[in-house]
Amino acid sequence: MVTETQHLVEPGKANELGYKTFRLGQFTFERNAYFCVIAVQRDIGWNFFYGMVKFDQVFGTFNFYDNGVDMFLGKYNDAWQKSGKAYSEMFPNEKISATFKAILEDWVPPEFNPWAAPRETGSPFGRKRGGPHPAIYRKRIVTKTMIKEPRTDATHPVNEAFKGIQGKDGEMKIKPEYKERFGLLNLYDYLARNDVTWNPEIVSAVEYSLFCPTTEEYILPITHGNDRVEWFLLLNGQISMEIRDRDTGNLRAYMHMKPGDCCAMPADISHNLWAPERSMLLVWENGNPELPELIRLGKTPTTPLQEFGLS
């Protein structure tokens, strides 16, 4: 597929398995039959999300929004910092996006959907055999699809794991002249029909208050480093989490969430998430673009509940 940003990409020759190598600044990306280690899809699907995406303990990206995206090696890892080996380079969002999209197009096999749970999709392993899976072009969706385009058996069948537990709408009688102004939606039913995992998508926005529910199963393929406080409310299933200091990677806590558990993640942590069964999680974000700067300047606390002594 030829895109407008293709001139920003520096691909090399294909290796013996058929996969191309890519350069970006001083970084080189390669894949073999098993490993590419980097889970580029979440960075692209989320447009680098809020803050940091770490592909392992060493390599990742940090979104500085209008100022670009910083790609780093060891910059947020205690041992690499101490040994003086940390390296990073800032790229315009457009350039790093174009390279990561080109990597996805070349490396994702036709039968492997990066948004699906492993039991629902084919193998990412082996030599190149065509591709990519069309799901790599999926964009995050927004609230109007929940209200204006109800999910049905034909468009979004209920996921196997949620059969029997999807919700049912209650009843609402609306005077005809107010038909356009009221609606009753069932979030359980909506999420039972979700066709992606680990992809918080906005279903309601009130100024900067964003409700981003998501369905989770198996492992979030990246580590997320926050640049603002975020809240989690587990609606069903279970989620385990390893929580680290964002800037050093040093372990701070383990957490196991059960349905009804609500937690607030500090702005200075990174976390890995596991869901041993398909689960529904409500992520509540404050989308205010000024927050990272306010936090950096110490004008906004990194913890959400200081008055309760939880700082």
Contact status: 31 vs ligand PHB (CB under 6 A):
no
Neighbours of 63 (CB within 10 A): 22
Contact status: 216 vs ligand PHB (CB under 6 A):
yes
CA 146, chain centre distance (Å): 20
Contact status: 198 vs ligand PHB (CB under 6 A):
yes
Contact status: 246 vs Fe ion (CB under 5 A):
no
> In angstroms, rounded to a whole number, what is the distance separating the alpha carbons of residues 233 and 173?
30
Contact status: 230 vs ligand PHB (CB under 6 A):
yes
Contact status: 235 vs ligand PHB (CB under 6 A):
no
Under rule CB under 5 A, which residues in 225-244 are in contact with Fe ion?
A: 226
The interface region with ligand PHB, picked from 10-18, 23-31, 128-136, 216-224 by CB under 6 A, is 216-224
**Residue 268: closest CA among 288, 284, 249:** 249
Q: Which long-range contacts (CB under 8 A, 24 or more apart) does 123-129 make?
A: 125/33, 125/34, 126/33, 127/17, 127/18, 127/33, 128/14, 128/17, 128/18, 128/19, 129/18
> In angstroms, rounded to a whole number, what is the distance separating the alpha carbons of residues 140 and 208?
17
> In angstroms, rounded to a whole number, what is the distance separating the alpha carbons of residues 253 and 250?
10
Residues pairing with 215 in the sheet: 280
How far apart are CB 230 and ligand PHB at their closest, in Å?
Answer: 5
How far apart are CB 224 and Fe ion at their closest, in Å?
Answer: 4
Contact status: 220 vs ligand PHB (CB under 6 A):
yes
How far apart are CB 2 and ligand PHB at their closest, in Å?
Answer: 31
Q: How far lies 190's CA from each of 23, 139, 282, in Å? A: 41, 18, 12
Number of residues that bind ligand PHB (CB under 6 A): 11
Contact status: 224 vs Fe ion (CB under 5 A):
yes
Strand, coil or helix: 257: strand
Nearer to ligand PHB, 33 or 253 (CB): 253
- Residue 198 interacts with which of ligand PHB, Fe ion, none, CB < 5 to 8 Å by class: ligand PHB
The interface region with ligand PHB, picked from 100-108, 135-143, 212-220, 252-260 by CB under 6 A, is 212-220
How far apart are CB 50 and Fe ion at their closest, in Å?
Answer: 7
The residue whose Cβ lies closest to ligand PHB is 224
Give alpha helix (H) positions in the chain.
40-45, 78-82, 93-107, 144-148, 187-192, 291-296
Nearer to ligand PHB, 98 or 212 (CB): 212
Question: Which residues contribute to the site for ligand PHB (CB under 6 A)?
Answer: 198, 200, 214, 216, 220, 224, 230, 271, 273, 281, 283
User: What is the binding site for Fe ion (CB under 5 A)?
Assistant: 224, 226
